[in-house]
Amino acid sequence: MFKRFLLVLASASLLLINGARAEESPATDLVLLTENFPPYNMAKNGKNFAQDENINGIAVDIVREMFKRTDITYSLTLRFPWERIYKLALEKPGYGVFVMARLPDREKLFKWVGPIGPDDWIMLAKADSKITLETLDQARKYKIGAYKGDAIAETLAKQGLKPIVVLRDQDNARKLVSGQIDLWATGDPAGRYLARQDGVTGLKTVLRFNSAELYLALNKDVPDEIVAKLQAALDQMRKEGVVDDIMAKYL
């Protein structure tokens, strides 16, 4: 009886250990996370959670092709908010997040594959706005809307412009039209695409203040060999015109 008890206890312990290992190690080579950031990444149903084939967009199509060419297995999940998936990719081995602006203060935090596409930073105003800007400093006297956790919002805050942030960037389109903000600091083409989805058109660009490139950011523990394979696949796709063809499908 005692031996049988010990055998059951040992079996239970083994199951617990194996279960813990399964939680620590992803079932695929990489766990990829993204957010609703049209036209680069978006849930087909428009919601803030989707997985695998229920996600599309420019970056999603490019990433899928990269992984197909390298035979690296992955899972793909779209979640909300951005701050959460950024933290997961930063802290968990085997995780990655896209698309992310490659900024100096982020450079050593991740391993990078890209660029996947451009993301110019612009200030949008209503069509009838009298605001004219030649420098970013001239925007200080206006109420500026931005997206919480985004590189644009972080940069403006560091420069003392005190942006009014929201959890969804598309909310700024309605805030701009209703007069709650004077300017919308967003990406191009993402901002215009989001505005059109909410029926807001005719916004005008009053300042283009930065040009950024968007990347797949991988946790620092991802092997260099995997990073190199993905980068080589993307470089070849660009040479073949595949990246341009994908972009043309959405824009």
Q: For residue range 193-223, what is the model confidence (pLDDT) as tens digits?
A: 889 888 998 999 999 999 889 999 999 999 9
Is residue 237 included in any domain, yes or no?
Answer: yes
Same domain, 53 and 109: yes
Q: Decide if pLDDT at 7 tops 70.
A: no
Q: Decide if pLDDT at 230 tops 80.
A: yes
Same domain, 149 and 230: no
pLDDT per position as a tens digit, 66-94:
999 999 999 999 999 999 999 999 999 99
Nearest partner of 193 among 250, 146, 234, 145, judged by Cα: 250
Can you give the residue range of the structural domain that contains 166? 120-211
Same domain, 129 and 196: yes
Q: Decide if pLDDT at 234 tops 70.
A: yes
Same domain, 137 and 168: yes
pLDDT at 184: 98
Same domain, 137 and 55: no
Same domain, 58 and 75: yes
- CATH number at 242 reads 3.40.190.10
Q: Is 101 strand, coil or helix?
A: strand
Is residue 229 included in any domain, yes or no?
Answer: yes
Residues whose CB falls within 8 Å of the CB of residue 54, separated by 6 or more in sequence, listed in order: 43, 44, 45, 78
Nearest partner of 98 among 248, 156, 89, judged by Cα: 89
Q: Decide if pLDDT at 95 tops 90.
A: yes
pLDDT at 185: 98
pLDDT at 250: 83
Work out the percent of the chain whose per-residue pLDDT is above 70. Answer: 89
Same domain, 130 and 159: yes
